[in-house]
Chain A
Amino acid sequence: MELHLILLFMICASVAAVESKDLISGVITLSAAGLGLSLAFLILKAPNLAITQLVVEILYVIILIRAIINKDLVLIKDGRWLFNTISTFLFIGSFLIFAFFALKELPNFGQPIMKVAGEYLKSGLGQTGSANIVTAITLNFRSLDTLVETAILFTAIIGVLAIIRKVGKIYDPEKGKR
């Protein structure tokens, strides 16, 4: 149910991002769609992927906004310092209170929960034949993860080579493409 709501929200946000006249509002609605994707990963019980999606989301919103706004940002310095200070202290205080209750639930230091890791340690050598347990996990139990990581590295290299290259097509409005 929540998944369908989030998918509907993402579709609406994508359509709004395409249809918006202003570039910066388009970027902001697109980031809303990405946030919905992160929440969808969280509902589908993939927290690792949700964190990665959130971080990449933040990074590309920063890059896009930095690329769109060529002018320097106007900073408003006077007048609102009391409101700013009070809201900052309120946020820090609420964060500390929530962190205090959340950190109580974590396991003690030096006594981790060995639910999955214990299974790997027990049956790693027998099932994979690899004495190095890290390699057994990264290349056998979690091999698809390593595959996608390699694909990410490969894509990054292709992108860097495509951006920094000597020969390329330069668009010239008078003569057309050359």
Chain B
Amino acid sequence: MSNEKGMSLIVKTVTRLTFGLIIIYGIYIVLRGHISPGGGFAGGVIITLSFILLMLAFGKDNVLKKLNQSRCLTFSSLGALIFLFIATAGFINKQKAVGGKEHFAIFGAGLIPLCDIAVSVMVGTGLFLMFFALVLLVEEKEGK
């Protein structure tokens, strides 16, 4: 990890400390979407924002090594397909879509947590792709 790219040392240290916490908070928001306020959309955006924070602090090359455009597109398509499959399954078998008797458990609400996870994957990687397309590619075109 080269020290020239990105922002100053203070920003890098704070980012390194808070990066994992932000991702854990996003997963918490996604998984408890049917108990407390939140849900798939908000949680996915929080996870994406942590990656964008990492990109702002350390430069874009470190993030794009692990999460490039084609991989993002694969994840986004996968999330959309999973959500479509869950919705179709709930439409066919209506009894399974209804939640159990245990009301405040994480997997106690039928298909809702699974839908939340699929929406979060799709929205998170999709918005990262949007950021990628609107900021990075435009910067590359202006640089040429």
Contacts and interface: CB of A to CB of B under 8 A. Distances in A.
Interface stretch (B8-16, B59-67, B100-108): B100-108
Interface residues of B, number: 44
Nearest to B122: A150
B73 interface: yes
Interface string B92-136: 000001111111100011111001100100110010011001100
B73 to A, nearest CB: 7
Interface in A27-53: none
**Interface residues of chain A: helix, strand, loop or mixed (majority):** helix
A4 B100 CA distance: 46
B101 to A, nearest CB: 8
Interface residues of A, number: 27
Contacts of A165: 137
Interface of B: 33-40, 69, 73, 76-77, 80, 83-84, 87, 90-91, 97-104, 108-112, 115-116, 119, 122-123, 126, 129-130, 133-134, 137-138, 140
Interface of A: 125, 127-132, 134-136, 138-140, 143-144, 146-147, 150-151, 153-154, 157, 160-161, 164-166
